[in-house]
Structure 1
């Protein structure tokens, strides 16, 4: 069932620092966390009127919604804050914002010198969402430089949208031929494969075992401190504090890249099956979870777009086909830094968290680089070609591990998804 668009409402968007944004008025059932506008007020108990807007707190009996802001006392007629479906329209955010009296389209692409950019996914304490800058120059890597809290300040492409006057705006389309598309959406009657679940369990078991080894090392240090020594109590106390600090740091910062990958996989799996509905903190997300019956009404699914040539992962949160025709509700992007090894699992975790408006842990952004070559990695040979590493012999399909180590070829991608049994296929460049 596609919603019917009727009009446009302009309101401040707190996620963009209070900048005015245009919302399409869509006549359909609202989801928890969505913004609605009253257009046909009825039996209001003097709590609301036409033109008022609210955030939906709960669904009510399948025929309406509940809003805490308009609740009355039990004897005053509306203790549940009920609003009937016929009274409201859903306000769906568009990419049009109002800045200094002008209308601009937020376009997700790399900015050019002289263009204005709007911060939408702040990743730096020197600015916040809603800040607007003019691009002063592009550096040698093509990255944006602006004047802000300090001169010639770097802003990552994932943090901003370009502001284009609406009369000049041209929808930006990424080259589809070079994109590898994967999706996490499955029919309700499709259950996850047992081997994949077991793989995650095995990896988490390995991580716990690793932490146990580190804890045992700390316990040995504590045991030594308890033994009679000529050291002063102050020295013993300081040594104990140092031991506990080291253990705390080992928990906060995984010691190996494999630890980070395991954490990223588990993080993505949990995010994909968890609903979120905190207004102005992150977007509302009501996912369809394969093989599970949820207490919420599923509205969305997540699709990942992996571009190995550009070393990017994009997370697209789409409505289900019966809502809004499957249009994109939110997106996030992760781009591998020059010189770093590309990993799709870490990229998915970063991109999905950005799409949901959640904080990205520093351990994802600054993950340790691999220290050795493994079977399933992609390396770059002397001709500049990307070639997979095989366990045994070299042939047209790949190079043997011993040969790669002997040649010293660098690892450029350690996702190892083919070796893990995934059915992803590399898209044509």
Structure 2
């Protein structure tokens, strides 16, 4: 009676991160199996489990092939230019008495030792489908083997479920963010930056910084804000020495609205050598004028000519919003704009000192 073997061809990887994710199409000899998983032989790597749903089961016999049968290449000669490799399936068109065959896929003869005859490779193997495990009939070693396979399959299934749940939550969050207004998203990022600075600076109690000589220094975090240059500098200064051990700089782009909290988070992360989140660098621009905002505006030419006797010069102005009431923006230092007539650009929404900020 011909020797029978089973092989598993990898069809897919339904769970990210499994060992066979990059081995789609590869064929591995089966050591044992159950209704959940297949344990395969991976050469020097030992035994590795594959989820049954991810593999095609191939059953072979080690005997000479006949015309019309299909063969699985299991021991290919690895010479340069060989047109076949282990795992290939070929269709036999001629066969000699020694078991050497010619196949439809190429013109090179296959030796009997290079192949095994496929007797069943249904993706859904009937024998496996009808298989029931009788635990009481198993010996200790077989029972342990099945137990290991089942536990590995359960872990993979749990990982799969967790991964899918995380992906679903990520998609839901992305969908929620896409529905938020730019202003709402910016508000979230500003609040995130504020919390980030508090945590990274240890709530003002100082941070430990590696000086580069293998030792550490306890440092206070100091910020230098220059609104004219639209920059924030974070300094890590030794508590005992007063020396500056590191600094990080954040600078707003010319077309970006300046925000002190976002600037501090970027500068401090750079001083500490940490990555800067993309949302800090690409925060949406504000769209709602609020009390405490610094805005840039321009008088209309007609307004300027009506109220000013001098020749028209620079008709732009830069002011801070003191209050918004009665349909008007009132500015710090006096003056106001009608909301309907004002064309303002927010250039600084730090709003430091404003109650609730």
Range of TM-score over shorter length: 0.3 to 0.5
Q: Which has the higher contact order (CA 8 A, sep 6+)?
A: 1
State the TM-score, normalizing by the size of structure 2. Answer: 0.41
In the superposition, the TM-score normalised over structure 1's length comes to 0.34
